[in-house]
Amino acid sequence: MEKRRRCGNSLAVVALVALVAAMLPPGEAKLSPDHYRSTCPDVEAIVRALVAKKVKETFVTVPATLRLFFHDCFVEVFRPDVPDVPAGRSGTHLVVSDEADAEFGSANGCDASVIIASRDNDAEKDAPDNVSLAGDGFDTVVRAKAEVEKECPGVVSCADILAIAARDVVAMSSGPHWAVELGRLDGLVSKAGSVAGRLPGPDMRAADLATLFARHNLTTLDVVALSGAHTVGFAHCTRFTGRLYRHGAVGDGDGDGARTVDPSYDPAYAQQLMEACPPDVGETIAVDMDPVTPTAFDNAYYGNLARGMGLFTSDQALYSDGESRTAVRDFAENQTRFFEAFKDAMVKLGRVGVKTGRHGEIRRDCTAFNK
């Protein structure tokens, strides 16, 4: 009788824990690097092997995967005045409905919503700010998910696979390695309309960046550290040619009609960019964001800023602004401090908009909601 009572009490505790987990609002999930210790212990090794294969195929995998993680996590729509998902509505998937945010309260965040594909091109990945996301980032997650499913079907979320892959591409390009917190669910909402105004733009000033990042509990130090990801990858010329040919033009600066090069550019660097990106440059032409060590995840980016070699306005602004300049100089002088700050910022970013309980699912296919 006593044994039966203890067993009943244990079951009640398990049920209570499950209920509490289901009721946790998005973004307050309990994440842990050991989340899959008993259910899929080899998940990180599986993902790492696939990522290594992809990086060997093309280095674009590195910046593409890292940028995909950032865009996925950074787009979060949270409405605290909205009630929880009504009972019986678990498993409802919304792609473009205007009621999506009102139904689920918090949409997007680190939930792999950016990977969803829509036949009508109205999912998050189809937003103007996301159409430039390189296909190799998506391919990395989709292929890694397929490998994980062979070993642990229906266990590991696409959101967690993306978080692991983002860490791995950094480590595989001479950058730092950190313990990735796991336990995210995949989101149930993916809307192109949720993206506008929620991602940093190439023309932003430091104060605007700080305000935008603060919405996700990220500090100015985090802004500077995460911007260091620009030490790898490339940018299309059309994203910054305004600094080369239209600085000071009407509607694009001081309004006096002048057409000059942004004076914050190092002259030699500006000339180099002009040669690569003429005024009539095509939309597909791109340049390295770090012209010094473009395939190494290091602190060269910060030294570039000190020399006037920040590609975007938002890059150079970090050195022009007094508050962020201190961190830029510190990271330029000490790569270890940059790596530590970058790791901390990536962990914090990975906690944005995390889904639990009825707010998410474990997708079978990262590009589609479960039926």
In whole angstroms, how far apart are CA 302 and each of 175, 257, 298, 317?
A: 15, 32, 9, 12
238 is in an annotated binding site: no
97 is in an annotated binding site: no
Q: Is 67 exposed, middle or buried (0-12, 13-18, 19+ CB in 10 A)?
A: buried
One-letter amino acid for residue 128 of the chain: P
Cβ atoms within 10 A of the Cβ of 262, count?
19
230 is in an annotated binding site: yes
Longest dimension (CA), the chain: 89
109 is in an annotated binding site: yes
**Integer Cα distance of 190 and 75 in angstroms:** 10
**Integer Cα distance of 310 and 315 in angstroms:** 5
200 is in an annotated binding site: yes
Which among 71, 216, 247, 359 is annotated as catalytic? 71
CB 38 within 8 A of CB 197: no
290 is in an annotated binding site: yes
284 is in an annotated binding site: no
129 is in an annotated binding site: no
The answer to whether residue 236 is catalytic is: no
136 is in an annotated binding site: no
- Cα pseudo-dihedral 282, 67, 356, 185, rounded to 10: 80
Range 19-24, long-range pairs (CB < 8 A, 24+ positions):
21/356, 21/357, 22/356, 22/357, 22/358, 23/84, 23/357, 24/356, 24/357
Give which of 245, 309, 232 is closest to 277, Cα–Cα.
Answer: 245
CB 262 within 8 A of CB 247: yes
Residue 285 CA to its chain's centroid (Å): 23
Q: Is 283 exposed, middle or buried (0-12, 13-18, 19+ CB in 10 A)?
A: exposed
In whole angstroms, how far apart are CA 181 and each of 70, 151, 164, 172, 321?
A: 15, 20, 9, 19, 33
Give which of 357, 351, 358, 360 is closest to 27, Cα–Cα.
Answer: 351
Cβ atoms within 10 A of the Cβ of 329, count?
15
113 is in an annotated binding site: yes
**Residues annotated in the binding site, as ranges?**
72, 75, 109, 111, 113, 124, 200, 230-231, 290, 293, 298
Binding site for heme b, by residue number, is 230
Catalytic residues: 71
Q: Which residues are annotated as a binding site for Ca(2+)?
A: 72, 75, 109, 111, 113, 124, 231, 290, 293, 298
- Residue stretches of the annotated binding site for substrate: 200
